[in-house]
Amino acid sequence: MTGRRDDRSTDRTTAPRAVEDLPSALDGEAFLHRLAGRRPAVFLDYDGVLTPIVERPEDAVWSESMRRTVRDLADRASVCIVTGRDRAVVQQLMGVDDLVVAGSHGFDIWSPTGGQLTHGILDDFTELIGEVTETLRTRLAGLEGVGIEPKRASVAVHYRQAGPDARERVSAIVEALLKEDPDRLAVVPGKMVYELKPAVDWHKGKAVLHLIEVLGLDSPEVVPLYLGDDITDEDAFRALRDRGIGILVGSPEDPEMAGRRTDAEFVLASVDEVERFLSTLGR
């Protein structure tokens, strides 16, 4: 796709590494060396991290054991959910309403104590997202296996269940839409999904940095950890370079990880490993 995408350029002190070259975050000695006695603040993506990727987004409900693990950790450390999902949707899927959640790639940030957490760059994009959603519904009508998910500040086009011809058609429609409105729209590519969002300089990485500031976590005694699996999580990995630790969730054997290079420093191969890691961290 050649249409406008998010500007993901940023200064790097370390070049991205191949997934298979990353050490496991379950390697206690290596990971504890990076913690260096500081207390963690934990930022977690939802899909692919706290719950496996599923065919239908509405089926991504985390397990009871994962829920307990995250809640136990939240009793001992700051825990924030940072997701491309709509905030209200992910809160419903989790059945938890007392964690900080940054939904829609950080466009909708909510705290159980402070309510809506705003930022100067953020605005009400309801009208824009409504227009884009209706256009997509019209142009994608009749394509089997394609789903449209409107959110507070973006709209996602899922095509995991679509055939090859339908996938090509989706790509062409999204690219055409971007060319028609390049000043207002950008696309965030993900795992079998295109996310159309406002063309403003905001993403998960900037949302995490904003949360570190407003939650009072910007201290030498605190080390931010970010766990994510998708391309959109690379923004957070880069944002935490030299001040935190990025942990990529995914196996090098997964076809969707083939050839991927990442700014994360550690890896966890599966959601089960995430649960083991968070449980150990909580203890």
Write out the catalytic residue numbers: 45
Rounded CA-CA distance 157/177 in Å is 13
Other Cβ atoms closer than 10 A to 44: 22
Interacting residues of 241 by C-beta distance below 8 A, sequence separation 6+: 12, 13, 14, 263
**193-198 vs 245-249, strand pairing mode:** unpaired
Paired residues of 227 in beta bridges? 44, 247
Tokens 């809640």 belong to: 71
Structure tokens at 59: 């089926």
